[in-house]
A and B are shown apart, each in its own frame.
Chain A
Amino acid sequence: MAREKKVHNPLFHVVKREPLPFLPALGIRAAAVVAALIVSALVITVLSQQNPLEVYKSMFEGSFGSSVRIWNLALNLAMLLCVSLVVTPAFKMKFWNIGAEGQVLISGLATVACMFFLGDQFAFLGDKKPYVLIPIMLGASILAGILWAVLPAIAKALWNTNETLFTLMMNYIAIQLVAYFLKKYVKSGSGVLEPMPQHGLPVIGDMDYLLSILIVLALTVIVYVYLKHSKQGYEISVVGESVNTAKYIGINVKKVIIRTLAISGAIAGVAGFLLVGGINHTISTTTVGGRGFTAIMVSWLAKFNPLTMIITSFLIVFMERGAEQISSDFNVDPSISDILTGIILFFIIGCEFFLQYKIVFNKNRKEEV
């Protein structure tokens, strides 16, 4: 009775896998980075007709070629890490804050305003000036960051307003405020504010940025401990996993949302303070330079673990620096660095698939009926 008919089975299907142990997971990620490097080199080779090995060399030199570059790498890493710390507590709570860019920028504006308006006023204090000015800068910066982060949080808590868009719009408002400040107070009308290192953070030894880097490292550890071992951190995890569970055990969800974003904002305040007071000593609309968005990927790739974020931000900063170096060494348009960063991100993000799923090839079954 059975008609002879060939049965076609799909060649493979995808199944979810058990969580991988540490080493194989690391292996997959490493493979993704290698693949990203190969593709990047290919792109550069095509665009610039260079030997791929030269490309790698240039890339490596971009980060480690000289002590200045190493410092630059460390500094950029620290700043990206710091901005990533801004978004992490909120993300852990599943609050999609994509406004770190604006939160940091507005803090920077607050810092620069203190330097600009108060810096010379306190000149009479002489050597003691930093003891007065720096705390004021930091305080203003933190307040500005908190304001920028807490407004969307309040709306979210009270009316469940879409936080992604709200925080995004706050970015542009911050940018316009900076533009306004520059237009209004830069006497030359050029819109470029001269750096004011005399009002900036003190320098440890000869190393300009060391203090900032150390502060970021300390902050990383603090945020790690806060999220992992404090009661408030536990509340953040519970709210992030399930709002219903949080309510069930009596957590005031609204309070936690607002409190957590206030903390995010405070970290943004520190980031803006370091960026302006410790490093640039001035401000422009691009001072944060897209770190607010890159930070989201840093944080997500590290599964919101601040210690792991050191590695992921290193990876991204290393790639970015390398890409910049390539574009200048081989005379390719600087936009190539954005393209390479994009490619690299796609590979690192894409490899998550292989961490969570596996492909099963179906055995050919040919049993006769």
Chain B
Amino acid sequence: MGINNIWVFAQQANGAPTTGTLELLAKARALGGNVSAWFGGDASAIAGALGEHGAAKVFATGDLAGALPGVAVASAMKAVIDGGESPDLVMFPQNYEGRDVMSRLSVKLDRTVITNNTDITVSGDTVTVTTPIFGGNTLVNTSFTGSAPYLAAFRPKSFVAEAAGGAAAEVVAAPVPDLGSTAGAVVTAVHVEETTGPKLDEADVVVAGGRGLGESDKFELIESLAKTLKGAPGASRAIVDAGWVPYSYQVGQTGKVVKPKVYIAAGISGATQHMVGMKGSKNIIAINKDKEAPIFGVADLGIIGDVHKVLPKLIEALKARG
């Protein structure tokens, strides 16, 4: 027995599969068995890349005409399962679309879901996932005890994407059945927030600010330092909730997971919610007035001081170096 068929929920950005998709495909391949991708839309543009990363085929719903993918893709999955082609494991990325599809499918199949995982192991018939809790200080291993399909969602950067060099995935049409009373949520306009510089989750250097900045105008210090270091600015949940910066800046459990070469936390105390998103950074510098701040427990270099004093001098010194 074991795991013979694995489905991976795939997403695309700018005509290519997302890094998260490729990470899941790499792990699915490592677990063995047949790997298929699932895509809400027309998969012709990404079938090549999906194949290269180990998907033998990709089930594609075809154009969703703006419908939110959650109920649409889950219903298409259910139809294929009812048609007799059932997976043992379905892997989802821990993000908006992944969560929506997984939740809908969970009810349709009456199967549990285990979210926020960072690893998965298969031993015989037992599938076990690892979930970090309490800000990553504690790891919980949970086994599925019901019957397959097992549904699991994984945090970004849990696995390393790697091409396997396979042929293009075969595109299999998996149309969306009639959604009945659950239909009707439709996207009418898409807004992309303009960002300059490297993307937050891909930058080598991330400079993040928190409540210690005192007021929203002072976020300028964070942006200026990030720009000087050719890095990306980030933020704690506290100042995103306060409306100082958009959600796309948020680092943490409910925001982005970052693993840059250097992470500079300025005026961030280090709440569990934040630590989950940045503890994997290779080097951490923290500046905070409160010497008891938990962030100092993970910092390679900690400065007990006022960000309003340290940051301007630091920016000036870095600029002077050119």
A binds B: no
